[in-house]
A and B are shown apart, each in its own frame.
Chain A
Amino acid sequence: MRANTWAGRNKVEVRDVPDPKILNSRDAIVRITSTAICGSDLHLVDGYVPTMQDGDVLGHEFMGEVIEVGSGVPGDRLRVGDRVVVPFPISCGACAACAAELYSCCENTNPNAGIAEKMFGHPVAGIFGYSHLTGGFAGGQAQYARVPFADVGPLKIEADLTDEQVLFLSDILPTGYMGAEMCDIQPSDVVAVWGAGPVGQFAMDSARVLGAAKVIAIDKEPYRLRMAEQAGHVPVNFDEVDVRSRLLELTGGRGPDKCIDAVGLEATHGSAHIGAYDRIKQAVRSETERPHALRQAIMSCRSGGVVSVIGVYGGFLDKFPAGAWMNRSLTLRTGQCHVQRYMKPLLGRIERGELDPTRIITHTLPLDEAARGFDIFKNKQDDCEKIVLKP
């Protein structure tokens, strides 16, 4: 089959690789009809997440048709011919984490748990196409994928909805939603979202659906801010204004009640000096993160507010504003999305028209043009927000 693979730092390559096979009894093989390039793929491609290998198949947002199931998959759960969206965390459904609906912390699905434990203290779930730290599972930017624990994760799509309407249930829509849900939004809340990329846009839409009074979008790309504004959110361009001052002005001096970091470890910064400090440290690998967005969110949030982190971090950061966090009674909530928890309720919201995931798609390319897609997405060419690949 054809598959998009990691070929070294800043290089991806569509190659011929073997077709996937059933390795465990609860596996299914899915013929992929749509897949996407995610912002977190860029952290892998840029080389900031360790343990990538030449030839790793990328991609963790995908959907398609089940063409084979293992002997351990009950027929009432999944059959050949079913149309499914596959969640990015691989979860067993049986461990204590899964019992608590903390699916991205599944205790059984990472065969490289020993490596993850050294990095994170405790291991995390296996993730498709997302380094050997998260299990070494082949990803979904391919014609076919092996899906372990296929009786637990994949969501059957029986309604008459397009791929584009449901594909993002695999990751970025639930991720954005969880970012807003972790904020415990009250009707009077002003919610500020750092990052107007795909996850940020969905966090904004979700904050509004959950009842926020005002939603603020922080980014520096005019086209992303326009996209947020068209969806009814208030744009703030950090290249043009001082973010904290503007946020105070928009909130009567209080600061946003709830702040969402939808940026993560490769943030860019309005201040050249602080930006250079982190870039240099990251370039020599003496820090794995550039946490500008997180720092700014903590400094800007109103006292007693919530800072919700859904941007991806990989290792250790420095200059964390612990003083502001502690002295001003802030709550920090985080997590890789527990996708399985949100898929069904969000499918309902899509069907009822409360959320329109298709609004962020700017590009659709054949799988063979994945490398060009990564280039366009990474360099924000051609007003690119989100790319869907068609194998």
Chain B
Amino acid sequence: MDLVATTTIRKPASEVYTFWRDLQNLPTFMAHLEQIRTTGDRTSHWTAAAPFGKDVEWDAEITEETPGERIAWRSTGHADVPNTGTVRFVPAPDGVSTEVHVSLVYDIPGGAVGKAVAKYFGEEPHQQLDDDLRRLKQVLETGEVVRSDGAPWGKRARKEFPQRPAQPLSDAELEKGADA
């Protein structure tokens, strides 16, 4: 599966690059990522939550990087879901902002894990990546992921619909969170 997505963020490329290069930041805005643990200068261990309480895990390495401009990575070893990705940071014509261009390639395997992962990505993986980048923009421009009463769960909400009614949450709903 090939995915590309783009957004423009009103911050200089150096800042957007630095945020992304600290890979542990990616789960703050990417819906399917649970955790990224850096294990070396260029290596890391990724965990994505899958349905039915299953986790999908893999090791990754940065294969190429140009500070402030570009980062490329790929999964290594026996990844459940082999994948590669590239992100480019391009100064926008306004002289202030940065265009973020992301490209991901997932090799979704067969079998039960493959099915679960494919289902997990949903019917519109492009939409999901677009929404991930919208949250990246929110985090960098405003400091956090914006929540509304109808869509209160930030990156934990993996779909925009169905939503809860646009009225304040009860204490019980707040406590249960996105699983409610």
Q: Which residues of A contact B (CB under 8 A)?
A: 1, 3, 5, 17-21, 23-26, 53-57, 72, 92, 94-96, 99, 107-115, 126, 129, 132, 135-139, 146, 148-149
Contact = CB atoms under 8 A, between A and B. Distances in A.
Nearest to B127: A114
A283 B168 CA distance: 32
B94 interface: yes
30 contacts: A3-B167, A17-B167, A18-B170, A24-B144, A24-B146, A25-B144, A53-B166, A55-B165, A55-B166, A57-B166, A57-B168, A92-B141, A92-B142, A94-B141, A95-B10, A96-B10, A99-B10, A111-B146, A111-B160, A114-B130, A114-B160, A115-B161, A132-B151, A135-B148, A136-B148, A136-B149, A137-B150, A138-B148, A138-B150, A149-B142
Interface in B137-180: 137-138, 141-144, 146-152, 160-161, 163-171, 173-174
A137 B148 CA distance: 5
B150 A132 contact: yes
B131 interface: yes
B169 A18 contact: yes
B167 A56 contact: yes
A54 B143 CA distance: 32
Contacts of A135: 148, 150-151
Given A18-B171, A114-B131, A132 B163 contact: yes
B101 interface: no
B163 A108 contact: no
B166 A137 contact: yes
A8 B152 CA distance: 22
B177 to A, nearest CB: 12
Interface in B96-139: 97, 127, 130-131, 134, 137-138
A57 B147 contact: no
Contact of B168 (A96, A110, A115, A138): A138
B168 A18 contact: yes
Nearest to A130: B166
Given A23-B152, A99-B10, A111 B166 contact: no
B149 to A, nearest CB: 4
A56 B150 contact: yes
Contacts of A57: 149, 165-168
A136 B166 contact: yes
Contact of B163 (A1, A24, A136, A138): A136
A5 B164 CA distance: 13
Contacts of B141: 92, 94-95, 107-108
B44 interface: no
- Which of A138, A139, A148 has the most CB atoms of chain B within a 10 A radius of its CB? A138
B10 A112 contact: no
B94 A53 contact: no
Contacts of A113: 131, 134
A112 B146 contact: no
Contacts of A53: 150, 163-166
Nearest to B8: A96
A144 to B, nearest CB: 8
Contacts of B148: 111-112, 126, 135-138, 148
